[in-house]
Structure 1
Amino acid sequence: MNGHSHHHSNISDNSSERIGLAFFLNVAFTIIEFVGGWLTNSTAIMADAVHDLGDSLSIGSAWLLNRLGRRSADKEFTYGYRRLSLFGALLNGVVLLIGSIWVLSEAIPRLANPVMPMAEGMLALAILGVSVNGYAAYKLSHGTTLNERVLNWHLLEDVLGWVAVLIVSIVLQFKSWPILDPVLSIGFTLFILFNVFRNIVVTLKLFLQAVPDKKLLENIRQSLLADGEVDGVHHLHLWSLDGEHHVLTAHIVVSPELNSKSHKDLRARINQGLSEFGLNHTTIEIEFADEECRDA
């Protein structure tokens, strides 16, 4: 018994649009950052521009992989190409991890030798940075895919970084405390680093075909066993193509006395019961209690 769901197509379309918007906004602002960093003679802004350039490359690759992942299944990739999106999430997580470590390597030495930046230029760029990156992060926050969640942390890191620049630039209008810049940058980067590491762990587990949601698996098991005609369930496997589109296989054990009509009704009830879980692919094999499972 096989099941297939297409109700995620609109989600995929919206996901691609959101990632594409974030990409173009990030590229445009990265160019502005390089120009602004040069005009204000700010090494901190230039460093952030380099970091945003890396973000742009990551988001661009994620956008491309997201679009490729929507291709239909073929004879070679029978489940389709959705795992390309998962690969994009892993790639972006690694890039952000490396980027965060680089930011820390730049910020920590400045604790000993803080540099006084041009506060006025910082303030103007900070307002623009918070606005542009904040809008892009807001758009991606509506996404449900793992790829979008990882990319959203890219943008949130930029937003928080620019909030830090905004706060520092305001304070520096009145006080000569340049050390505030590296202190805030380190704090925000550590916060983002923690969340990105967590997302990378989730992505790696999905690559290894771990159960995407243990509670979901147990609910499916209970749903199958709730039918009076079902004597047992084994070889129950739940894994995910990309963190959102799940695949389920299971062997259902029934009584040998089950006739053809009851067998057909049971399949209909199982289909109905599984429909509420939003599974993308399901394969259910029905076995009689007195036969040997070929996968045992």
Structure 2
Amino acid sequence: MHHHHHHDDDLASDRIGIAFALNVSFTIIEFIGGVLTNSTAIMADAVHDLGDSLSIGLAWLLNKLSARESNNRFTYGYRRFSLLGALINGFILLLGSGWILSEAIPKLSNPEMPVVEGMLGLSLLGIAVNGFAAWKLSAGKTMNERMLNWHLLEDALGWAAVLLVSIILMFVDWPILDPLLSIVFTLFILFNVGKTLWKTTLLFLQAVPDANMANRVGELLRADTEVTEVHHLHLWSLDGEEHVLSAHLVLAKTLGPAEQLALKRRMAQQLSVFEFAHTTLELELPEEICRDRDEAAEVE
């Protein structure tokens, strides 16, 4: 399992690294293309992609940091740094999308006709570059990669809008289509990023990653005949992918060392289906007063 997680970390880092290299290279091309085509829409997207590049670079660094081993300061390791990267990128994306809307909405009343042929060529390249990068990150499971995937998907959809507009503008004089479609796609991305950002925020605040999982774990622990009560059941996530469980189990009767070992092994086998990164179960004797009892949160 330890080797498996290191392998996943390396793959995630590679995927983010590829996305970063592609985004930086294309951002430079965008700035040049924006000047040559006299397209404010392309220049706006270039600025947005520059912000994307910075956020992807930050995500890359944080993802590498998250793979470091645990130590005396970070006893659970650094995996939550990946979650921090997802939060930062989510807010950057919200700000970037707001900026795009502030640029696109005024153009509805005063649209400008760009160099259509240049828009067409850049849009095809933009779809290819961002689409490939989004496809690479789509295999990722961490919240960090999911948030970055929305970054790239937003760019790919934006370039699809530019492609559609450039084709239409070759035949009709409707420059208003450019800001109109940009607004539609940006609102679509904002809606989806908002949901992902809310989920990431809850995980960062150590909310239960899956309510159904928490219920199943509680039922499983109480189902054992040696257990009469379960309290202090805590379930949270390190990065949206690796979860942590701790619980206090009140025994029906005093068990000897061999019986306690058998119970622990039985619990470990039953909980293995959840693939928790860390599991802590404290066994309490029937007459024992829980030292944390006053603050215990009962899980019914």
TM over 0.5: yes
| Kept after mapping to 2: 8 A contact 1:16/1:63 | yes
Aligned match of 1:95: 92
Correspondence list, 1:41-60, <5 A: 41-60=38-57
**1:258 deviation in Å?**
2.5
Find the partner of 2:217 among 220, 230, 242: 220
Instruction: Kindly indicate whether the alpha-carbon contact (under 8 Å) linking 1:40 and 1:121 is maintained by their aligned counterparts in 2.
Output: yes
Checking the alignment, whether the CA contact within 8 Å between 1:6 and 1:280 is kept in structure 2 is no
Cα pair 1:5 1:278 within 8 Å, conserved: no
Q: Which residue is 1:211 aligned to?
A: 208
Distance 1:6 1:295 in 2: 36
User: In structure 1, what is the Cα distance between the partners aligned to 2:136 and 2:286?
Assistant: 52
One-letter identity of the residue aligned with 1:125: L
Bigger mean CA offset, 282-291 vs 103-112? 282-291
User: Which residue number corresponds to residue 163 of structure 1?
Assistant: 160
Tell me which residue corresponds to 2:107.
110
Give secondary structure in 2 for the equivalent of 1:248. Answer: strand
Unmatched runs of 5 consecutive residues or more in structure 2: 294-300
Percent identity between the two aligned chains: 63
- State whether residues 226 and 253 of structure 2, in contact with CA within 8 Å, keep that contact through their aligned partners in structure 1: no
- Conserved 8 A contact 1:40-1:118: yes
1:243 matched residue in structure 2: 240
Residue-by-residue CA offset, 1:87-108 (whole Å, 9 max, x unaligned): 1000000000000000000000
Which runs of 4 or more aligned residues in structure 1 lie more than 4 Å from their structure 2 counterparts after TM superposition? none
Output aligned runs, 1:143-182, within 5 Å. Answer: 143-182=140-179
Q: CA deviation at 1:260?
A: 2.6
Secondary structure of the structure 2 residue equivalent to 1:232 = strand
TM-score, length of structure 2 as denominator length: 0.95
The offset of 1:261, in angstroms, is 2.1
User: What is the Cα deviation at residue 198 of structure 1?
Assistant: 1.4
Select 1:79's aligned residue among 76, 82, 94: 76
Q: What secondary structure is seen at the aligned counterpart in 1 of 2:274?
A: coil
Q: Which has the higher contact order (CA 8 A, sep 6+)?
A: 1
Measure how far apart 1:58 and its partner are.
0.2
Amino acid at match of 2:60: W
Residue aligned with 2:290, SS: coil
Which of 11, 16, 24 pairs up with 1:14? 11
Q: Report the secondary structure of 2:47's partner residue.
A: helix
The aligned length equals 293
2:191 corresponds in structure 1 to 194
Q: Is the 8 A contact 1:5 1:280 kept in 2?
A: no
- Aligned residue for 1:215, secondary structure, equals helix
CA RMSD of aligned residues (A): 1.2
Please say which of residues 202-211 and 127-136 is displaced more in the overlay.
202-211
SS at structure 1 position matched to 2:94: helix
Q: Secondary structure at the match of 1:235?
A: strand
Structure 1: distance between partners of 2:153 and 2:89: 14
**Residue 252 (structure 1) aligned with residue 259 (structure 2):** no
Q: Deviations over 1:170-216 (max 9, x none)?
A: 00110110010111000000010111111221121112111111111
Q: How far has the Cα of 1:6 moved from its partner?
A: 5.7
User: What letter is aligned with 1:75?
Assistant: N
Q: 1:133 aligns with which of 130, 135, 157?
A: 130
Runs of 5+ unmatched residues, structure 1 = none
